[in-house]
């Protein structure tokens, strides 16, 4: 290869990476919007005269809308050009957060969270699909990882930034910050993201039927159990750090930052892993390690130093699984890969909801210290679901033997075994 050709290939690679990082900026906005509310609840509730429980419903409404809207909206908009869809969704997401920023009452605030949740759900699945389609197949795993690096960056940076804005001015400006991020992403997408055709030819019912694709149900179950395993602990992590680790408020801040840094490193490493190994086998490995890490947290959380190491490793191993999950779904789904990514987003939120319920039961029963073991058990269940899916995909011995046998010849040549 000539120097000029190599330089042109390098330039094209950098240009492609820049487009994917632009999509990641949108995910950063969504992640910030998703996680920011919990820190703003006291100020939000005080200004709007809401109880803590009522203020917390803003998070619930966003999550439920996200879970329900993801597959439905992905199906309804499947024929649209992906670039056009991204721009429209980002603008709607910005409007939803702007409406949250100026909400005069609880009703308008809840409505704004529905708008934001629905648009966030559609952006997440569309951005992942676009990243995969504008990237060479051998770099697809890294592209998917970069997109979700925006989400993990929000854990480490977006939430502290949003909370700082809320403390310096008002919770309203924090939502305004998210709206601004969405607008900046939309401007960049308008200038840099190429046109990507939709997938015409199938109706809403057929696309929603993608869940019946072989291995899709077990893949969704794997995702749900994987999420429950981590979030049954993460949902109550602040309380555990205080009661079990003895961490102060200042300690909790940098401990959570370590989890975010580990998450960013994990999702990037998982993307490279997805490009080098079979996604199913890679996923089995990361989930198995995650089960061991969660079990080890039972002891690690008894000191601040142990919690620091445990949280960084936990974030790294958990998020390393996500690009592998997405890469595997795109392989399973084929032309309906976009649809499976949307269904996977729903599985994530179902898992988070289930985790909150399970964790609450443990906490109410006085077994908060056993949550890491419960998380490890759910990861083992995720491994079982993954193994069932892999077994369903394996060819029967008779079929494998037939595939190895030479095809009989006729005067016209080999018999076409595809008929």
Burial of 415 (0-12, 13-18, 19+ CB in 10 A): exposed
Report how far apart the first and last C-alpha atoms of the chain are (Å, whole number): 43
Return the pLDDT at 162: 74
Residue 124 has pLDDT above 90, yes or no: no
- Whole-structure pTM value: 0.72
Residue 402 has pLDDT above 60, yes or no: no
Long-range contacts of 173-177 (CB under 8 A, 24+ apart): 173/101, 174/36, 174/40, 175/33, 175/36, 175/97, 175/98, 175/100, 175/101, 176/97, 176/98, 176/101, 177/32
Q: Of 54-58, 178-182, 282-286, which range is least confident?
A: 54-58
Q: Which of 221, 211, 225 lies closest to 333 in space, CA to CA? A: 211
For CA atoms 295, 299, 304, 308, give the dihedral sign. Answer: negative
What is each CA distance from 288 to 231, 291, 307, 318, in whole angstroms? 16, 5, 20, 10
Please report which confidence band the pLDDT of residue 320 belongs to, taking 50, 70 and 90 as the band edges.
very high
Q: And the tokens for 58?
A: 């803003």
Chain centre to alpha carbon of residue 170: 29
Burial of 64 (0-12, 13-18, 19+ CB in 10 A): middle
Q: Of 36-40, 60-64, 107-111, which range is least confident?
A: 36-40
d(CA 12, CA 9): 5
d(CA 12, CA 33): 32
Measured from the Cβ of residue 133, the count of other Cβ atoms closer than 10 Å reads 16
CB proximity list for 148: less than 8 A, separation 6 or greater:
24, 27, 128, 267, 319, 322, 323, 326
d(CA 265, CA 280): 20
> Average pLDDT over the chain, rounded to whole?
82
Residue 406 or 213, more confident: 213
Q: What is the bridge-based pairing of β-strands 409-410 and 413-414?
A: antiparallel
Residue 94 has pLDDT above 80, yes or no: yes
Residue 398 has pLDDT above 70, yes or no: no
Q: Which of 312, 197, 308 lies closest to 245 in space, CA to CA? A: 308
For CA atoms 346, 349, 350, 351, give the dihedral sign. Answer: positive
Q: What is the dihedral of CA 277, 279, 282, 284, to 10 degrees?
A: -150
Residue 186 has pLDDT above 80, yes or no: yes
Tell me the β-bridge partners of 414: 409
Return the pLDDT at 288: 97
pLDDT, tens only, 12-61:
444 567 888 889 999 999 988 877 776 677 788 889 998 866 877 787 78
Return the pLDDT at 84: 92
């Amino acid at each position: 290869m000539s120097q000029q050709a190599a330089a042109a290939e390098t330039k094209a690679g950098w240009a492609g990476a820049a487009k994917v990082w632009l999509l990641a900026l949108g995910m950063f906005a969504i992640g910030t919007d998703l996680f920011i509310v919990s820190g703003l609840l006291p100020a939000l509730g005080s200004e709007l005269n809401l109880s803590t429980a009522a203020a917390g419903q803003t998070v619930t409404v966003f999550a439920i809308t996200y879970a329900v809207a993801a597959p439905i909206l992905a199906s309804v908009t499947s024929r649209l050009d992906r670039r056009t869809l991204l721009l429209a969704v980002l603008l709607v997401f910005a409007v939803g957060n702007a409406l949250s920023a100026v909400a005069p009452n609880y009703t308008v605030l809840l409505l704004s969270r529905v708008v934001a949740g629905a648009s966030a759900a559609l952006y997440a699945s569309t951005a992942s699909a676009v990243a995969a389609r504008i990237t060479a197949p051998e770099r697809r795993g890294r592209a998917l990882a970069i997109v979700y690096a925006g989400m993990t960056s929000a854990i480490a940076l977006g939430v502290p930034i949003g909370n700082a804005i809320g403390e310096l001015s008002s919770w309203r400006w924090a939502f305004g910050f998210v709206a601004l991020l969405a607008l900046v992403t939309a401007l960049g997408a308008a200038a840099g993201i190429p046109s990507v055709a939709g997938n015409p030819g199938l109706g809403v019912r057929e696309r929603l039927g993608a869940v019946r694709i072989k291995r899709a149900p077990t893949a969704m179950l794997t995702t749900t159990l994987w999420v429950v395993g981590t979030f049954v602990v993460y949902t109550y992590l602040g309380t555990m750090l205080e009661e079990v680790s003895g961490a102060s408020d200042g300690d909790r801040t940098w401990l959570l930052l370590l989890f975010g840094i580990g998450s960013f490193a994990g999702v990037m490493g998982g993307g490279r892993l997805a490009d080098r190994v079979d996604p199913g086998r890679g996923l089995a490995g990361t989930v198995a390690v995650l089960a061991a890490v969660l079990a080890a947290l039972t002891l690690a959380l008894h000191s601040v130093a142990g919690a620091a190491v445990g949280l960084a490793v936990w974030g790294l191993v958990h998020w390393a699984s996500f690009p592998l999950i997405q890469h595997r779904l795109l392989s399973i789904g084929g032309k309906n890969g976009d649809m499976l990514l949307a269904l996977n987003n729903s599985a994530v939120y179902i898992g988070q909801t289930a985790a909150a319920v399970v964790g609450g039961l443990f906490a109410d029963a006085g077994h908060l210290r056993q949550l890491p073991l419960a998380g490890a058990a759910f990861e083992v269940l995720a491994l079982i679901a993954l193994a069932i899916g892999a077994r369903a995909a394996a060819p029967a011995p008779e079929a494998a033997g037939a595939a190895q046998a030479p095809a009989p010849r006729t005067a016209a040549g080999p018999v076409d075994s595809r008929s």
